[in-house]
Structure formats: structure tokens, C-alpha cells
Amino acid sequence: MKGEVFNLLEQYLVEHAGPELCEQIHAKAAPELEYKGPHIGPGTYEDRDFFTILKETVSALGISADAAALAFGKYCFPKLAARFGDRMRDYHNTREFLLVIQDVIHVEVKKLMSGARPPNFYYVDQTEDSLTMIYDSERNLHCFAEGLFYGCAAYFGETIEVKKELLAYQGRKCCIFTLTFGRP
Amino acid sequence: MSTPADSIPIPVERLSRELAREKERVRLLEEMVESKTRELYEEKQLLSSTHESLQRVIETLPSAVIVTDGELIITQINSRATQIFGIEPSLFLGKSILGTLKREWFASERYGSDSAIAKEAEAEVQYHHPISGNLMPLALSVRPLFSAQQEFRGMVYMFTDLSARKGLERDLLQAQKLESIGRLAAGIAHELNTPAQYVRDNMLFLGDAFGGFEKIIRALQGLKSAVESNGDLAAAIRHIEEVEKVIDFDYLLEEVPEAICQTIDGAQHVARIVKSMKVFAHPGAPKKSHADLNNLIDSTVTISRNEWKYVAEVETKLEADLPTIMCLAGELSQVFLNLIINAAHSIEDRVKRGEYEKGKITISTHLAGRDIEILVADNGCGVPDNIKHKLFEPFFTTKGVGRGTGQGLSFCYSCVVDKHGGKISFDSQTGVGTTFKVTLPTGH
Ligand code: HEM
Ligand SMILES: Nc1ncnc2c1ncn2[C@@H]1O[C@H](COP(=O)(O)OP(=O)(O)OP(=O)(O)O)[C@@H](O)[C@H]1O
Ligand SMILES: [Mg+2]
């Protein structure tokens, strides 16, 4: 996982739990970490380290792992979108944007950050106000994705209804998202 | 009063830990920038060595290679190109290919210069070498270059010097000509034998006749001395009369001039055949020269006599005073020879079927506007509709082994159309006959 994501998680903890608790979480995770130094955005680190920090976060905050990932995803979206600067203006609503994450957004991510391995999304079905897409990643961070969907809808000033269906396909865990968009 | 600074204790320790972490981040980032810079340098190095080895590969090619970018600006050129075109690479690099060499070789109308029409092409072009002044035949291969994403990136032009190949083609043509001469040789030997035979017979006769004349002269000499010596004139005259009778003097007087004429005819016939053969045997001068088509046709009819005389009559209707044309005379005679032999073969088929004893081949020439038209018509078996479209294909033949190889008409086509800018076509009806029409521009 890219250092960018580690740093976002650290930032999230500082903002939501305070710097002290954040330090404690890192201190607790430290013995299990592959890499113990401070993360830098362009660096690439073990996925395992990300999950270790997430696990310590969960036990420190007393929430479920899924809830943590979801909240973190929501938090991340505007930060990640900021990375695209002016180019975000090309997209006018959630649906339009979600339709390009696979072929444009995550492709740009791979170009800009060496070693990035964003997940795969497959678009299955769509209507004017809904979208069905499959999330496929060995990291199985579907709650993080879900959080990003909420963050995305908030970013465009829309509402979103997320239905999830977990399934295993050829031994891999996938998640079918059915998204319905609304304008308040 | 207490200030916030008093009430909230400054977490010095934590802040200094944070500072240390940030310092460490800066160090790591610097390290990363350095290592990325090094990677970049190494990649560049690799790229330029790849570029160099590519250039070396291009250098090893026996053809001139010119590479352009998408705007047709020349980016690469090999030294063979310098040799072939006799121009320094520096005069090419960075210039538009449209401004170098001959514009029409590259003009977009011809090959296209934007992605929509950039396409492959092959052409034969001629180049005047600026230093040697030689006219070089070149094969030009044009290939568009696309990136992995199928974006148009430029063009590759490859020129191959065809001089050597042209030489080989010439040799091959000469060899084929020699082969057809070989085929004709037997017939020609026969043709030569007949006049040679009667030249010999006539000479034997003239030899005998001379013996008779000698006797007459001796008898006359006897009369002369009888007159001079006042001898027996009557006896001398009687002797002359006897000799006249013995040698059949009247007969000789009649036959000898005839024999002399026939001998001269025979010798002329031999000379004509030999002259006709020269048209063929002459190594096809690669340069065109002025030639009289009627003459060419006459010669061809003469030397091919043995090929047709058993099955057909040949009639020529040659328009007098045709303009001469610039042509490859040797090759055109080959064309006519093939048309005549094809006609004879098709007639032979009907003769064999017993449809008639002899067919007819009519060869005519006439001026048609700025062209000369040559018609070779036969009343042979004709060409069936289902093979009409194949006649000019190389190696298409309906003839058995030893009789045809199927190269005749394809040669005719390339000679008439490619080399003389003319046309060749035919009209045929099975059971009625075939007429081949050759049209050659006079250039007037
Ligand atoms: C709603 C839109 C988006 C969704 C649903 C989404 C989803 C995800 C998910 C689920 C991951 C976690 C990796 C995994 O599951 O294998 C991920 C990783 C990532 N995404 Fe997105 N993403 C979105 C938009 C963006 C945007 C706008 C950026 C802009 C920079 C971005 C940058 C990244 C990066 C850098 C990673 C980490 C990849 C790695 O560490 O190998 N994403 N994304
Ligand atoms: N005058 C003609 N009448 C009927 N058929 C003809 C005539 N001329 C050509 N053809 C047909 O066209 C075929 C091709 O002719 P072409 O001269 O190319 O080859 P060929 O005569 O078979 O062999 P080659 O000329 O090499 O000895 C012949 O085999 C014959 O079937
Ligand atoms: Mg033939």
C-alpha cells in the first residue's frame, strides 16, 4: 500500500482521536510492523502494516473494523480528490465520476505513484440513477470502498444508497455494489 | 490572568518526537529523490544505447533508410542513403522529407501523412545521382510507424538499389530469348537447308553447263583457226553443230540464267533468315531505339516459318509508311513471335481434329490516331470463356509439357504495358478464332 494511504490514516487519527492516542496506536502496533520509520507519500509499504495499524485503531477506539474502514474511506475521498486538482472539474456528479475510476482515475494513480496497486472495478449494469459495479481486490477493503462512495457523493452534494453483496468468485472475495443516486 | 499557554501544558516531548519524525521524512524523501534521479539517469543511458544499437542495425541494412516523425521531419538516416543519394546526412536531418529528394515520392496525396491515411506502399522510382549522373532504379518501400497505443508516429522509407537486379532481369530475359531461339533453331536449320540445297544443285548444274560451254568455245576456236589458215570451214561448222547437239546448247541457254537467278534468290533467302535471327540474338539493348514495326514483324514471320508452315498460311497486311517508334525491338519481336506461335498452336489443334487442312494467321498493322495497332488474328480453336481472365497470368498454360510454359502472354503483357506504355487485349470465340490486339504509342 502507498505511503499516501498510511499518511491519510495517521492524519485521520490525529484529527479524530488526537495526537496522543495516535501515538499510542502507533506505539502499540510498532512491534508487529515490518517498517517502523515514518511513512512518506511516494513510498510503498507492506499491506500487512496497514492492517496492523487498522487493527490497533479498532481496539483503541472500540469500534468494528468495518466501521473504521468505512469512516476512513469517507474521510479520504476529498483528500484524494484534491490530488487531482482542476481535473476534478471534468466530472459533474457521483455516477459520472464512478464510471471513470477504473479507466481514468486509478490509471492516473498508477502513472503518478510508482508501485501503486489500486483495486479493480467492473461495471455490470447502469441506469440513469443507479450503477452496479464489482469491487475486486486481494485486500478485500470493501468497507473502505463503501466509505469512499459516501465521501464521493458528499463531495458532489448528492445522496447515495449503497447495497453490498459479498461473494467468492474463483476463490477470490469480491463485492457487488449496487449504488442508487439521489439529489436532495 | 492566565494565558492559554499557561493553562495548556506544551507537550514538548511529543512535539520533539514529531519534529524528529518529520526530519526523518525529509531525509527519506531526499534519499528517494536521489535514487529516482539515478534511476532516471540509468534509464536515459539505456535509452540512448538502445537508440545507438538501433542506428547500428539500420546502418547494416543494404538499403537506404530514412525515418521521419509524425510531421514527416527526418529524424534518422543511414549511410547507405548518403551513398545512394550522394547527399550529406546533415542536409537531411531536421528537414521535412517533402523538401528533399523528389517531392512526389513522398507527397501526402500519394501515401498520406496523417494517421487517418498513413499507409504502406511500394513503388519503383528513378533517381538521378547528382555526382555520377547515373539514373538509378530504386524500389521504395513505405511503412507508417505506430506507437503501442496505435498513434501515428512517423514514416520509414526504404530505398533499395535495383541496378543489380535489373541486370539480372536482363540476363534472364536474354536467357529466355536464347531458349526460344533454341526452339526455333531446328526449324531455322530446316529453312536454311532448302535454299542451301538448291544453291548446291544449281551450282552442280552450272558446273556441268560450263563443261558444255567449254566444248562450244573449243569448237569456235577450231572455226577461228580454220578461217585464219584457210582450212576446211564446212567441217569446222559441222563440228560446232555436233557439239551444240551433244551439249543441248539451246537448253543450256535457257536454263543457265534461270539457275543463276535461283542461286542468287537462295543466297538472298539465307541472308534474310540470318538477318532476322540477328534481331533476336542481339542482346536486348536496355535502351530503346527507333524501329520499324513492319520490318520487325516481317523478320519474325520469316524466322518462325517452320512453326506455322505445316498448319497455316500467314498473311501480312502492313500499312505502308508507319512512323518508326521508340521501342525495345528485340523484346517486341519476342511479343510477336509468341502471338504467332500461340496462333499456330491453336490452329494446329483444329487441324489435328480434322476440321480443315490449313488455317490462316493474319497479321496487320495500322495507324490509329497517335497509336500503332498490331492485330494478330487466327481462325484457330479460340479461348473458352472460363479461362479468358487467366490468359495473361504467368505460368498459365493449357499446353502439354514441352509445348508451352505459360510465360508467353505474361511476358507480352509486361513488355507491352509496363515497358512500352501500350495495351494488349484479345477477342476470342471458341470455334471461330482469336484476335490479339497490341497498341503501341508512337509518341508523336
Ligand atoms: C469513489 C472513488 C474511489 C473509489 C471507490 C476508490 C477505491 C479504492 C480502494 C477500495 C482502494 C484500496 C486498495 C484496494 O482495495 O486494493 C483504493 C486505493 C487507492 N486509491 Fe482509490 N478509489 C477512488 C478514488 C480515488 C481517487 C480520486 C484517487 C486519487 C488520487 C485514488 C487513489 C488511490 C490510491 C493512491 C490508492 C492506493 C493504491 C495502493 O496503495 O496500491 N482513489 N481506491
Ligand atoms: N491465339 C490463341 N488461341 C487460343 N488460345 C490461346 C491463344 N493464345 C493463347 N492462348 C491460351 O493462353 C494460354 C497462355 O498463353 P501463353 O502464351 O502465355 O503461354 P503458352 O503459349 O501456353 O506457353 P509459352 O508461350 O510460355 O510457350 C495458352 O496455353 C492457351 O491456352
Ligand atoms: Mg505462348
pLDDT tens digits for range A104-128: 999 999 988 889 999 999 999 899 9
Min distance A40 CA to chain B CA atoms (Å): 6
Looking at the structure, tell me whether residues A115 and A163 fall in a common domain: yes
Looking at the structure, tell me whether residues A121 and A161 fall in a common domain: yes
Which pLDDT band holds residue B145 (cuts at 50, 70, 90)? confident
Domain assignment of residue A75, yes or no: no
Specify the pLDDT at position B264: 86
Domain assignment of residue A73, yes or no: no
Contacts 24+ apart (CB under 8 A), A83-89: A84/A108
Nearest to B294 by CA among B302, B285, B306: B302
Looking at the structure, tell me whether residues A44 and A117 fall in a common domain: no
Query: Which residues form the domain of B81?
Result: 61-161
Looking at the structure, tell me whether residues A58 and A88 fall in a common domain: no
The lowest-confidence range among B112-126, B156-170, B363-377 is B112-126
Looking at the structure, tell me whether residues B154 and B172 fall in a common domain: no
Are the beta carbons of B254 and B307 closer than 8 angstroms? Answer: no
- Chains A, B: CB contacts within 8 A come to 22
Domain count, chain B: 4
Specify the pLDDT at position B136: 81
Write the secondary structure of chain B as one string of H (helix), E (strand) and C (coil): CCCHHHHCCCCHHHHHHHHHHHHHHHHHHHHHHHHHHHHHHHHHHHHHHHHHHHHHHHHHCCCEEEEECCCCEEEEECHHHHHHHCCCHHHCCCCEHHHCCCHHHHCHHHHCCCCCCCCCEEEEEEEECCCCCCEEEEEEEEEEEECCCCCEEEEEEEEEECHHHHHHHHHHHHHHHHHHHHHHHHHHHHHHHHHHHHHHHHHHHHHHHHHHHHHHHHHHHHHHHHHHCCCCHHHHHHHHHHHHHHHCHHHHHHHHHHHHHHHHHHHHHHHHHHHHHHHHHCCCCCCCEEECHHHHHHHHHHHCHHHHCCCEEEEEEECCCCCCEEECHHHHHHHHHHHHHHHHHHHHHHHHCCCCCCEEEEEEEEEECCEEEEEEEECCCCCCHHHHHHCCCCCCCCCCCCCCCCCHHHHHHHHHHHHCCCEEEEEEECCCEEEEEEEEECCC
Specify the pLDDT at position B115: 36
Q: What is the CATH number of the domain that holds B135?
A: 3.30.450.20
Looking at the structure, tell me whether residues B40 and B188 fall in a common domain: no
Domain assignment of residue B127, yes or no: yes
- Of B227, B253, B283, the one marking the end of a domain is B283
Domain assignment of residue A72, yes or no: no
**Ligand 2 site residues, Cβ closer than 6 angstroms:** B 338, 342-343, 346, 378, 380-383, 391, 396-399, 404-410, 434
B289-340 pLDDT, tens per residue? Answer: 899 999 999 989 988 888 899 999 999 999 999 999 999 888 898 899 999 9
Min distance A63 CA to chain B CA atoms (Å): 26
Residue B298 burial (10 A CB sphere; 0-12, 13-18, 19+): middle
Going by CA atoms, what residue is nearest to atom 36 of ligand 1?
A118
Looking at the structure, tell me whether residues B395 and B294 fall in a common domain: yes
* pLDDT of residue B114 exceeding 80: no
Domain assignment of residue A70, yes or no: no
Q: What is the CATH number of the domain that holds A116?
A: 3.90.1520.10
Are the beta carbons of B332 and B439 closer than 8 angstroms? Answer: no
Looking at the structure, tell me whether residues A58 and A89 fall in a common domain: no
Looking at the structure, tell me whether residues B290 and B266 fall in a common domain: no
Looking at the structure, tell me whether residues A173 and A113 fall in a common domain: yes
- Of B161, B179, B208, the one marking the end of a domain is B161
Domain assignment of residue A54, yes or no: yes
* pLDDT of residue B282 exceeding 70: no
Looking at the structure, tell me whether residues B421 and B297 fall in a common domain: yes
- The crossing angle, in degrees rounded to 10, of helices B233-247 and B163-228 is 150
Which pLDDT band holds residue B285 (cuts at 50, 70, 90)? low
Query: Nearest by CB to B14, which of A19, A37, A43?
Result: A19
Contacts of B29 in chain A (CB under 8 A): 40, 42
Are the beta carbons of A160 and A153 closer than 8 angstroms? Answer: yes
Looking at the structure, tell me whether residues A91 and A123 fall in a common domain: yes
Query: Nearest by CB to A38, which of B11, B21, B32?
Result: B21
- Looking at every residue in chain B, the average pLDDT score rounds to 84
Looking at the structure, tell me whether residues B126 and B138 fall in a common domain: yes
Cβ–Cβ gap B29/A40 under 8 Å: yes
How many Cβ atoms sit within 10 Å of the Cβ of residue B401? Answer: 7
A63-94 pLDDT, tens per residue? Answer: 999 999 999 999 999 999 998 888 899 999 99
Query: Nearest by CB to B25, which of A19, A23, A40?
Result: A40
Round to whole Å and give the CA distance between B285 and B69. 43
Domain assignment of residue B54, yes or no: no
Are the beta carbons of B351 and B357 closer than 8 angstroms? Answer: yes
- Of B128, B161, B194, the one marking the end of a domain is B161
Query: Which residues form the domain of A93?
Result: 84-182
Strand partners, B282: none
Domain assignment of residue A137, yes or no: yes
Looking at the structure, tell me whether residues B289 and B427 fall in a common domain: yes
Looking at the structure, tell me whether residues B188 and B279 fall in a common domain: yes
Share of chain B above pLDDT 70, in %: 88
Looking at the structure, tell me whether residues A97 and A173 fall in a common domain: yes
Specify the pLDDT at position B280: 61
Mean pLDDT of A43-54: 94
Residue B391 burial (10 A CB sphere; 0-12, 13-18, 19+): buried
The three three-digit cell numbers of residue B242, written as one number:
555436233
* pLDDT of residue B3 exceeding 60: no
Looking at the structure, tell me whether residues B379 and B277 fall in a common domain: no
Looking at the structure, tell me whether residues B26 and B119 fall in a common domain: no
Domain assignment of residue A35, yes or no: yes
How many Cβ atoms sit within 10 Å of the Cβ of residue B77? Answer: 25
Looking at the structure, tell me whether residues A92 and A56 fall in a common domain: no
Domain count, chain A: 2
Domain assignment of residue B94, yes or no: yes
Domain assignment of residue A44, yes or no: yes
Looking at the structure, tell me whether residues B183 and B259 fall in a common domain: yes
Looking at the structure, tell me whether residues A165 and A96 fall in a common domain: yes
Looking at the structure, tell me whether residues B295 and B202 fall in a common domain: no
Are the beta carbons of B77 and B89 closer than 8 angstroms? Answer: yes
